[in-house]
Amino acid sequence: MTAALPIRQVEKPWGKDVLPAPFVAPEGERIGEIWFEPPAALPDLLVKYIFTSEKLSVQVHPSDAQTTAKGLGRQGKEECWLIVAAEPGATLGIGFDAPIGEEEMRKAARDGSIEGLMTWHEVVPGDFFYIPANTVHAIGVGVSLIEVQQNSDITYRLYDYGRPRELHLDEGMAVARGEVYDLARWHKRVPAEGNAVLVDGPLFLLDQVEGVPSPDIAARYPQALLIIPREGTVAIGGETVAPGGCGLATSLDEVEFAENGVCLLARACAD
């Protein structure tokens, strides 16, 4: 079994032709996303990098309970973002400046004023945001981030700046919460080095580790996990995985961590 997950580079009109190291965009292409194909051992998690030169759509995702109630199975999406690079003034739109009702939100989505009602958080490398299901959000210009999410492709676009793509106002209004984002609960500042618990369930775990994981972090990963090197390489079953990659380990026992390396560990939680 190959430890390094297959990579899929996705061109987007809002992507970038100059990417942060170690990535290099093919000549003439604007890369918006780099996906790591979810392995059979951990099918419920998707890891990707996102690079933006324009604002992404204002959107919302349903929860597992909502998709199950519609007969779609567990297809909800909660996600989180770790900023790895940001141009001056780069922002993320998450939640609203003040609570907003469904009809007002629908009207604002139709006329485009929803963008101005959202809270735009200026970001720098090391900012971390968890995005619960039902949270209205948009990624702004000049952002490069790592996204770890439930492996679902259900996205309801509420506003797309006039781009010729389908909107999903009825579906979106059925799940969107017109709430102020709880920054104190869902945002963290992650140092470039050191250990940090980033997500502690209930759907998945995500930790940053420097060097060999401490016993308390190692105890959180008793089985298969994903490893995303940030600084330095890791060896999984003797195979090297470098920054810009993502690897699958059947257990921590088969992983050799660089002494001064920094990486992310992730796994889905059991049902």
- 157 catalytic? Reply is yes
**Cβ atoms within 10 Å of 218's Cβ, excluding its own:** 16
Is the same domain home to 65 and 166?
yes
What is the distance between the alpha carbons of residues 108 and 104, in angstroms, rounded to a whole number? 6
CA atoms within 13 A on the CB side of 241: 29
pLDDT of residue 69: 95
What is the distance between the alpha carbons of residues 200 and 240, in angstroms, rounded to a whole number? 28
Is the same domain home to 182 and 72?
yes
Boundary of a domain, candidates 128, 156, 189: 189
Is the same domain home to 86 and 158?
yes
pLDDT of residue 63: 97
What is the distance between the alpha carbons of residues 271 and 268, in angstroms, rounded to a whole number? 9
Torsions phi, psi for 66 (to 5 deg) = -70, -40
Range of the structural domain that residue 89 is part of: 52-189
pLDDT of residue 164: 85
pLDDT of residue 175: 98
Identified catalytic residue from 30, 157, 230, 267:
157
Is the same domain home to 217 and 148?
no
Is the same domain home to 220 and 135?
no
Is the same domain home to 171 and 57?
yes
Contact 180, 100 (CB under 8 A): no
Is the same domain home to 201 and 257?
yes
What is the distance between the alpha carbons of residues 11 and 26, in angstroms, rounded to a whole number? 10
What is the distance between the alpha carbons of residues 51 and 53, in angstroms, rounded to a whole number? 7
pLDDT of residue 26: 94
Domain presence at residue 16:
no
Boundary of a domain, candidates 189, 211, 227: 189
pLDDT of residue 140: 98
Structure tokens at 198: 């980033």
C-alpha distances in Å from residue 1, one per residue of 5, 47, 241, 249: 10, 19, 14, 10
Q: What is the CATH number of the domain that holds 162?
A: 2.60.120.10
Is the same domain home to 136 and 246?
no
- CA 108 from centroid of its chain's CA atoms: 26
pLDDT of residue 93: 98
Q: DSSP secondary-structure letter at 221? A: -
Domain presence at residue 230:
yes
Domain count of the chain? 2
Residue 115 burial (C-beta neighbours within 10 Å; 0-12, 13-18, 19+): middle
Is the same domain home to 175 and 249?
no
pLDDT tens for each residue of the chain, 271 residues long: 689 999 999 999 999 999 999 999 999 999 999 999 999 999 999 999 999 999 999 999 999 999 999 999 999 999 999 999 999 999 999 999 999 999 999 999 999 999 999 999 999 999 999 999 999 999 999 999 999 999 999 999 999 998 888 999 999 999 999 999 999 999 999 999 999 999 999 999 999 999 999 999 999 999 999 999 999 999 999 999 999 999 999 999 999 999 999 999 999 997 6
Is the same domain home to 121 and 149?
yes
